[in-house]
Copies of this chain bind each other. A is one copy, B any other.
Amino acid sequence: MPDKDFREILKKVNQFEISNNTDIIELINSLKETGFNAKRLALACEIYNEMINQSDCVKFFGLAGALVPAGMQKVIYDFIKEGYIDILVTTGANLTHDLAEALGFHHLQGDIQSEDVNDSYLHKEDINRIFDVFMPNKIYEGIEDFVSKLQIPDMQMSISSFLKFLGEQLPKNSCSILRICAEKKIPIFCPAFTDSGLAMQLGFHHQRLNLNHFADMLEMVNLAWDAKTAGICIVGGGVPKNFIMQSLQFCPNSAMYAIQITMDRPEQGGLSGAALREGISWGKINESAKYSTIISDATIALPLIYWFLKKKQKETKKGY
């Protein structure tokens, strides 16, 4: 922060208002002139929009947290469909839940206090709980049935290649993340793949399977290296965040744009909550990068960001 110029960059806080004509673009533009997480949300929207507008920007998207069970599958699907994601890094859990929905199974939600239901009761009823969302245990039977019949072409293929193969086997008319990524040739990386119910079923039924994790790791460094401009959006931290970050660390490139949506904080020193500016010291993020961390549940922030981007991009295409 060049302190001498600081007074000059200060502007009036906008006591913003909602009018009859407020739309998502006006809301976000107004919030940009406020403070705290509202402002950071608005800055994140603006940064993401720039990432999309810059044609040589490769958009890395890290996704952790149980977002598919929480009803965010279609939003992520749309991020991919609209071209807002070039490389997806996620958890095995999200892929397991995505597969379940793609095969026609559903996660369940209840009334306002359903998170207080007794867990022993749920266990007897064969219902697994994810805070206030529920997953009937029999969904695993459906996944098992599907997985056991897979004709895996190569027991030593990379995980990303396997996930592409998997996506191609899924019904066309679903909102599956696996399916749309396969269609649009968006690679999915999943470094902790064996930490998932999907991998468990694969392991039980395909005993010789040894998907190559190292191939993905090296491929990811190449992708980071080759990106003319690198932009990253991190949802929830975890392994997806670190995997994207280390790829930028171990190549000469660094991110010019960075967005982070998380409830984790920096003080306990874990990577999930680490401030984005800390990434500058590691060479993961460029010192002239634009970045914004939003402390928010992704189920609130992600739909708003998508809503903004979709409307904004439509306007851009129309030549506004």
A37 touches B267 (CB 8 A): yes
Residue pair A131, B291 in contact (C-beta under 8 Å): no
Q: Cβ of A317 < 8 Å from any Cβ of B?
A: no
Which one of A163-171, A179-187, A212-220, A226-234 contacts B?
A212-220
Q: Is the CB of B1 within 8 A of A200?
A: no
Chain A interface residue bracket vs B = 35 or more
A214 to B212, CA, bound (A): 10
Given the complex, which residues of B lie within 8 Å of A110, measured CB to CB? 6, 9-11
With a CB–CB cut-off of 8 A, which chain B residues contact A214? 194, 199, 202-203, 209-211
Other 20 A-B pairs with CB < 8 A, given A128-B281, A130-B278: A9-B114, A11-B110, A12-B108, A12-B109, A13-B70, A31-B299, A33-B71, A33-B109, A35-B71, A35-B132, A36-B269, A38-B70, A112-B291, A133-B269, A194-B213, A196-B246, A197-B246, A238-B239, A263-B270, A267-B293
Task: List, in ascending order, chain B residues with CB within 8 A of A35's CB.
Answer: 69-71, 107, 109, 130-133, 269, 299
The answer to whether A15 touches B175 (Cβ under 8 A) is yes
Residues of the B chain whose Cβ atoms lie less than 8 Å from the Cβ of A316: none
Q: CB of A274 within 8 A of chain B?
A: yes
Chain B CB within 10 Å, residue with most, of A18, A33, A101: A18
Decide: A303 near B27, CB < 8 A? Known: A129-B282, A267-B37.
yes
Contact B131 A36 (CB under 8 A): yes
List chain B residues, Cβ under 8 A from A134. 10
B299 touches A71 (CB 8 A): no
On whether the beta carbons of B295 and A267 are closer than 8 Å, the reply is yes
Does A39 sit at the interface, judged by CB under 8 A?
A: yes
Closest chain B CB from A314 CB (angstroms): 8
